[in-house]
Amino acid sequence: MENVLEIKDVTYKKNQKLILKDVNLTLQPGKIVALLGENGAGKTTLMRIISGMAKNYRGSVKIDGFDKDAEKKAHLSFTDGLTGFNDSTKIKAVVDFYEVVYQDFDKSEFEQLRRFMKLDLEMRLSQLSRGMREKLIIALTFARKADLYLLDEPFGGIDAMARKKIINSIILWKNDNATILISDHFVNEIASLLDEVVIIKDQTIYAHKSADEIRSNHETIEQYYEGLYDGDEED
Protein backbone atom coordinates (compact mmCIF):
# COMPACT_ATOMS: atom_id res chain seq x y z
CA MET A 1 0.00 0.00 0.00
CA GLU A 2 1.20 3.52 -0.82
CA ASN A 3 2.70 5.61 1.96
CA VAL A 4 0.45 8.35 3.33
CA LEU A 5 3.37 10.65 3.98
CA GLU A 6 6.79 10.78 2.36
CA ILE A 7 9.24 13.45 3.43
CA LYS A 8 12.58 13.44 1.66
CA ASP A 9 15.66 15.47 2.59
CA VAL A 10 13.71 18.42 3.95
CA THR A 11 15.81 21.31 5.23
CA TYR A 12 14.22 24.49 6.51
CA LYS A 13 15.81 27.73 7.63
CA LYS A 14 14.21 30.87 8.99
CA ASN A 15 16.05 34.12 9.68
CA GLN A 16 19.24 32.26 8.70
CA LYS A 17 18.65 29.87 11.60
CA LEU A 18 18.53 26.18 10.79
CA ILE A 19 15.26 24.74 12.09
CA LEU A 20 15.16 21.35 10.37
CA LYS A 21 17.97 19.56 8.57
CA ASP A 22 17.77 16.60 6.19
CA VAL A 23 14.49 15.33 7.54
CA ASN A 24 13.37 12.01 6.07
CA LEU A 25 10.13 10.44 7.25
CA THR A 26 7.72 7.91 5.83
CA LEU A 27 4.36 7.06 7.38
CA GLN A 28 2.14 4.18 6.37
CA PRO A 29 -1.65 4.20 6.27
CA GLY A 30 -3.66 3.46 9.38
CA LYS A 31 -0.98 4.32 11.95
CA ILE A 32 -1.14 6.57 14.97
CA VAL A 33 2.25 8.23 15.33
CA ALA A 34 3.54 10.47 18.11
CA LEU A 35 5.83 13.32 17.12
CA LEU A 36 7.90 14.07 20.20
CA GLY A 37 10.60 16.59 20.95
CA GLU A 38 11.50 19.45 23.26
CA ASN A 39 9.97 22.91 22.92
CA GLY A 40 11.41 24.55 19.84
CA ALA A 41 12.63 21.25 18.41
CA GLY A 42 10.69 21.88 15.17
CA LYS A 43 7.54 19.76 15.63
CA THR A 44 5.13 22.54 14.66
CA THR A 45 7.43 23.62 11.81
CA LEU A 46 7.45 20.08 10.44
CA MET A 47 3.65 19.99 10.56
CA ARG A 48 3.49 23.38 8.85
CA ILE A 49 5.83 22.14 6.13
CA ILE A 50 3.68 19.01 5.63
CA SER A 51 0.51 21.14 5.38
CA GLY A 52 2.10 23.64 2.98
CA MET A 53 1.94 26.54 5.46
CA ALA A 54 5.71 26.89 5.75
CA LYS A 55 7.42 27.83 2.49
CA ASN A 56 10.79 27.90 0.92
CA TYR A 57 12.14 24.63 2.27
CA ARG A 58 14.50 22.33 0.45
CA GLY A 59 13.44 18.75 -0.26
CA SER A 60 10.09 17.16 -1.05
CA VAL A 61 6.87 16.33 0.78
CA LYS A 62 4.26 13.97 -0.66
CA ILE A 63 0.89 13.06 0.75
CA ASP A 64 -0.75 10.02 -0.83
CA GLY A 65 1.77 10.48 -3.64
CA PHE A 66 0.65 14.05 -4.32
CA ASP A 67 3.18 16.86 -4.19
CA LYS A 68 1.03 19.82 -5.28
CA ASP A 69 -0.22 22.05 -2.46
CA ALA A 70 -3.92 21.92 -3.35
CA GLU A 71 -3.96 18.11 -3.47
CA LYS A 72 -1.91 17.80 -0.30
CA LYS A 73 -4.24 20.15 1.58
CA ALA A 74 -7.26 18.22 0.31
CA HIS A 75 -5.90 14.98 1.79
CA LEU A 76 -4.88 16.24 5.23
CA SER A 77 -6.71 17.68 8.19
CA PHE A 78 -4.68 19.98 10.44
CA THR A 79 -5.72 21.28 13.87
CA ASP A 80 -6.06 24.98 13.18
CA GLY A 81 -6.51 27.59 15.90
CA LEU A 82 -9.39 29.23 13.98
CA THR A 83 -7.76 32.65 14.35
CA GLY A 84 -8.88 33.48 10.81
CA PHE A 85 -12.36 34.07 12.16
CA ASN A 86 -13.63 37.08 13.99
CA ASP A 87 -14.17 36.43 17.71
CA SER A 88 -17.87 37.20 17.29
CA THR A 89 -18.26 34.33 14.81
CA LYS A 90 -20.67 31.63 15.95
CA ILE A 91 -19.65 27.96 15.92
CA LYS A 92 -22.50 27.47 13.43
CA ALA A 93 -20.78 29.83 10.95
CA VAL A 94 -17.42 28.08 11.36
CA VAL A 95 -19.12 24.75 10.61
CA ASP A 96 -20.77 26.27 7.53
CA PHE A 97 -17.33 27.42 6.35
CA TYR A 98 -15.87 23.94 6.79
CA GLU A 99 -18.82 22.37 5.01
CA VAL A 100 -18.46 24.69 2.03
CA VAL A 101 -14.67 24.70 1.71
CA TYR A 102 -13.79 21.07 2.55
CA GLN A 103 -15.50 18.53 0.37
CA ASP A 104 -14.66 15.70 2.80
CA PHE A 105 -16.36 17.44 5.74
CA ASP A 106 -19.07 15.23 7.18
CA LYS A 107 -21.67 17.32 8.98
CA SER A 108 -23.39 14.37 10.66
CA GLU A 109 -20.02 13.21 11.98
CA PHE A 110 -19.42 16.73 13.29
CA GLU A 111 -22.83 16.67 15.02
CA GLN A 112 -21.83 13.48 16.86
CA LEU A 113 -18.48 14.94 17.83
CA ARG A 114 -20.10 18.22 18.89
CA ARG A 115 -22.49 16.39 21.19
CA PHE A 116 -19.61 14.35 22.57
CA MET A 117 -17.66 17.55 23.27
CA LYS A 118 -20.79 19.30 24.65
CA LEU A 119 -20.50 22.32 22.35
CA ASP A 120 -23.37 24.66 21.55
CA LEU A 121 -23.65 25.75 17.90
CA GLU A 122 -24.95 29.16 18.93
CA MET A 123 -21.87 29.97 21.01
CA ARG A 124 -19.47 32.57 19.71
CA LEU A 125 -15.72 31.92 19.52
CA SER A 126 -15.13 34.68 22.10
CA GLN A 127 -17.31 32.79 24.60
CA LEU A 128 -15.23 29.63 24.41
CA SER A 129 -12.62 28.81 27.03
CA ARG A 130 -9.26 27.52 25.80
CA GLY A 131 -10.35 23.96 26.46
CA MET A 132 -13.68 24.38 24.68
CA ARG A 133 -11.95 25.97 21.72
CA GLU A 134 -9.58 22.99 21.53
CA LYS A 135 -12.53 20.62 21.68
CA LEU A 136 -14.14 22.47 18.77
CA ILE A 137 -10.87 22.29 16.81
CA ILE A 138 -10.62 18.53 17.42
CA ALA A 139 -14.27 18.05 16.38
CA LEU A 140 -13.75 20.06 13.17
CA THR A 141 -10.51 18.23 12.38
CA PHE A 142 -12.01 14.76 12.75
CA ALA A 143 -15.26 15.65 10.99
CA ARG A 144 -13.16 15.67 7.83
CA LYS A 145 -12.56 12.29 6.25
CA ALA A 146 -8.89 12.88 5.53
CA ASP A 147 -6.05 10.42 4.99
CA LEU A 148 -3.64 12.24 7.26
CA TYR A 149 -4.51 14.05 10.49
CA LEU A 150 -1.96 16.48 11.90
CA LEU A 151 -2.68 17.17 15.57
CA ASP A 152 -0.39 19.84 16.96
CA GLU A 153 -0.58 19.79 20.78
CA PRO A 154 -4.34 19.45 20.65
CA PHE A 155 -5.10 18.85 24.35
CA GLY A 156 -3.13 21.58 26.18
CA GLY A 157 -6.16 23.37 27.62
CA ILE A 158 -8.54 20.45 28.01
CA ASP A 159 -9.19 19.16 31.55
CA ALA A 160 -7.76 15.75 32.46
CA MET A 161 -11.06 13.88 32.45
CA ALA A 162 -12.23 15.16 29.07
CA ARG A 163 -8.74 14.64 27.67
CA LYS A 164 -8.82 10.98 28.67
CA LYS A 165 -12.23 10.50 27.05
CA ILE A 166 -11.12 12.20 23.83
CA ILE A 167 -7.87 10.22 23.61
CA ASN A 168 -9.75 6.96 24.10
CA SER A 169 -12.21 7.90 21.36
CA ILE A 170 -9.78 9.17 18.72
CA ILE A 171 -9.37 5.73 17.23
CA LEU A 172 -13.12 5.58 16.57
CA TRP A 173 -13.20 8.89 14.73
CA LYS A 174 -10.79 8.04 11.94
CA ASN A 175 -11.06 5.69 8.99
CA ASP A 176 -9.04 2.48 9.25
CA ASN A 177 -6.60 3.66 6.60
CA ALA A 178 -6.18 7.17 7.97
CA THR A 179 -2.94 8.08 9.73
CA ILE A 180 -2.61 10.43 12.69
CA LEU A 181 0.56 12.36 13.45
CA ILE A 182 0.19 13.82 16.92
CA SER A 183 2.56 16.06 18.85
CA ASP A 184 1.81 16.27 22.54
CA HIS A 185 3.47 16.73 25.90
CA PHE A 186 1.16 14.26 27.63
CA VAL A 187 3.20 11.29 26.38
CA ASN A 188 1.84 8.87 28.98
CA GLU A 189 -1.77 9.65 28.20
CA ILE A 190 -1.48 9.05 24.47
CA ALA A 191 0.95 6.12 24.82
CA SER A 192 -1.73 3.43 24.71
CA LEU A 193 -2.93 4.71 21.30
CA LEU A 194 0.42 4.77 19.56
CA ASP A 195 1.72 2.54 16.80
CA GLU A 196 4.92 4.47 16.19
CA VAL A 197 7.04 7.18 17.80
CA VAL A 198 9.05 9.82 15.94
CA ILE A 199 11.53 11.90 17.91
CA ILE A 200 12.83 15.24 16.64
CA LYS A 201 16.18 16.15 18.14
CA ASP A 202 19.16 18.14 16.86
CA GLN A 203 17.04 19.59 14.02
CA THR A 204 16.33 16.20 12.47
CA ILE A 205 14.45 12.92 12.91
CA TYR A 206 16.53 11.40 15.67
CA ALA A 207 14.53 8.21 16.03
CA HIS A 208 11.54 6.54 14.38
CA LYS A 209 10.49 3.37 16.19
CA SER A 210 7.42 1.22 16.48
CA ALA A 211 5.70 1.41 19.87
CA ASP A 212 5.75 -2.40 20.14
CA GLU A 213 9.53 -2.41 19.71
CA ILE A 214 9.89 0.05 22.59
CA ARG A 215 7.49 -1.90 24.78
CA SER A 216 9.29 -5.18 24.00
CA ASN A 217 12.36 -3.69 25.67
CA HIS A 218 10.27 -3.40 28.88
CA GLU A 219 10.18 0.36 28.56
CA THR A 220 7.24 2.73 28.49
CA ILE A 221 7.23 5.25 25.65
CA GLU A 222 7.79 8.04 28.18
CA GLN A 223 10.82 6.24 29.64
CA TYR A 224 12.22 5.70 26.17
CA TYR A 225 11.67 9.35 25.23
CA GLU A 226 13.17 10.68 28.44
CA GLY A 227 16.08 8.26 28.08
CA LEU A 228 17.10 10.01 24.88
CA TYR A 229 17.76 13.21 26.80
CA ASP A 230 19.49 11.69 29.84
CA GLY A 231 22.97 12.12 28.35
CA ASP A 232 22.21 15.75 27.44
CA GLU A 233 21.27 16.63 31.01
CA GLU A 234 24.50 15.12 32.37
CA ASP A 235 26.48 17.30 29.92
Residues that bind another protein (CB under 8 A): 14-17, 44, 48, 51-56, 68-71, 73-74, 78-85, 97, 100-103, 152-153
- The answer to whether 142 and 174 have CB atoms below 8 angstroms apart is yes
* Nearest CB to another protein, comparing residues 1 and 100: 100
Alpha helices in 34-81 (DSSP H): 43-51, 69-75
Q: How far is the CB of 71 from another protein (least distance, A)?
A: 8
Nearer to another protein, 83 or 216 (CB): 83
- Nearer Cβ to another protein (102/116): 102
23: left (phi over 0), alpha (psi -120 to 50) or beta: beta
In the complex, least distance from residue 145 CB atom to another protein, rounded to whole angstroms: 13
| CB nearer to another protein: pick between 16 and 217 | 16
19 versus 214: smaller Cβ distance to another protein: 19
Q: Residue 118 carries which side chain, given as an amino acid letter?
A: K
| Closest approach of another protein to the CB of residue 86, in Å | 8
> Least distance from C-beta 183 to another protein, angstroms?
11
For residue 182, the tally of other CB atoms under 10 A from its CB is 24
Count of C-beta atoms within a 10 Å radius of residue 79: 20
DSSP 78-135: E----TTS-TT-BHHHHHHHHHHH-TTB-HHHHHHHHHHHT--TT-BGGG--HHHHHH
DSSP structure class, residue 30: T
Q: Tell the smallest beta-carbon distance from residue 129 to another protein (Å).
A: 15
Cβ closer to another protein: 48 or 174? 48
Q: How far is CA 95 from the centre of its chain?
A: 20
In DSSP terms, 150 is beta-bridged to: 78, 181
